[in-house]
Amino acid sequence: MAEFGALDAFLDEYLDLSIKGRDGETRTYRIEEPSAEDGVRIERITSLAARLAAGGKAPDSPVLGDEEERDLYRMCLGDQYEALLADLKWGAFKHVSLTVMFWVTTDKDTAAQFWTTGQQPGKAPNREARRRASRGSSASAAASTTPSQASTSGTRAGSQPRSKGKGKRARS
């Protein structure tokens, strides 16, 4: 018969995130795991968003209202919500919130991947980023490997050579 060890032996109960605030100081914020009730609500909200995204079309109305979005961030950030709201600009606040949301709904590795890349784990970069990347790398490769276009002027037996410039005579 299998024996189960203590549940807390492998669960992560908090995230420590180092964040530079508006004042330029870096602080470490400890984000505690949400309550079971909040965890269920976060899971339900993100599952709905994932189903909408999987449908491939944008919803007709916002998935979350402003107050619901604040509640989602409040549930994710717990006791650190007010401190982070006061200390961070919007981009950093949202990044922290989404990192914690990935931790709550998936795992610490997925959250760490988002934290370092800003990219939704498992999702390809947006089309514009892919284009920029391909232009940068393939443009130089294409320049060195693409052969010059062949001449289309053709030559016939007995024809005179053409001059290289307009109005200028070819040197012999």
pTM of the complete model: 0.62
Residue range 144-157: mean pLDDT, rounded: 49
Q: Where are the beta strands (DSSP E) in the chain?
A: 14-20, 26-32
- pLDDT on residue 34: 95
Q: Are 133 and 124 in contact (CB under 8 A)?
A: no
Mean pLDDT across 72-88: 96
For residues 150 and 168, give the distance between their C-alpha atoms in angstroms, rounded to a whole number: 23
Does residue 48 have a pLDDT over 50? yes
More confident residue, 115 or 51: 115
